[in-house]
Chains A and B, each alone.
Chain A
């Protein structure tokens, strides 16, 4: 089944403790992206990648890192999480970037205390 898989689905952590959220897609998509979704603010893009080893900042990149060492994987790294990073995170991919639709994972709900 074609899908975007994120793990974990739920994560509770403390301020400053490094964490990684994994994302993998099995559709051979070129483009992958991370979003956070907050009430009233909608989806905001954190980082995106058009290809292996190519990443670019979105609208809210501060406090996040990403890497794209393989085409199928695009992990999101929070080196020192803070409470304002408590949010619902989505990974998404598309075949050709903005010229094809995004397909989303089921989300990771992160709570930072």
Chain B
């Protein structure tokens, strides 16, 4: 079993919808959580970076961490066609120097 699980989708939503992207993990040692957006033929771009449990908001994006359930989410409000991309979750532990990635969820926002 992988340490980080992410539904690959694809996910297709109409413009203006609220999008919910999720990852689950198995190791309670994970402390730092990230969401990346990757456009086709580009490198992953950092969207959100959070530590431990709770919510963090940045514009139309909200990252949520529930450590008790080992579950993280990224919400996109008022989704736009420009949000069409693959979204990757990532996490790290307090010790060690490895980043653990989900396989990514492909999102298409239809105008």
| Residues of B40-64 whose CB lies within 8 A of A | 41-46, 49
Q: Which of A48, A58, A90, A97 has a CB less than 8 Å from the CB of B43?
A: A90
Which residues of B are found within 8 Å of A40, using beta-carbon distances? 8, 103
5 contacts between A and B (CB under 8 A): A4-B43, A42-B103, A43-B88, A98-B99, A101-B49
Which residues of B are found within 8 Å of A45, using beta-carbon distances? 98-99
Interface residues on B, range: 20 to 34
A-binding segment of B11-19, B68-76, B77-85, B89-97: B89-97
Q: Which chain A residue has the least Cβ–Cβ distance from B34?
A: A101
Q: Which chain A residue has the least Cβ–Cβ distance from B6?
A: A42
- Complex CA gap A109/B93 in Å reads 30
**Chain B residues at the A interface, C-beta cutoff of 8 Å:** 8, 32, 34, 36, 41-46, 49, 88, 90, 92-94, 96-99, 101-104
The list of the 10 closest CB pairs from A to B, nearest first, reads A98-B92, A104-B43, A42-B103, A97-B97, A43-B101, A101-B49, A106-B43, A104-B44, A101-B46, A98-B97
- Complex CA gap A102/B90 in Å reads 10
- Complex CA gap A105/B45 in Å reads 9
- Complex CA gap A90/B46 in Å reads 14
Number of A-B contacts (CB under 8 A): 57
Are the C-beta atoms of A102 and B45 separated by less than 8 Å?
no
Q: Does A31 contact B (CB under 8 A)?
A: yes
With both chains docked as a complex, state the minimum distance between the C-beta of B95 and any C-beta of chain A, in angstroms: 8
Q: Which of B34, B41, B98, B103 has a CB less than 8 Å from the CB of A41?
A: B103
Q: Does A107 contact B (CB under 8 A)?
A: yes
Are the C-beta atoms of A105 and B32 separated by less than 8 Å?
no
Which residues of A are found within 8 Å of B43, using beta-carbon distances? 4, 90, 92, 104-107
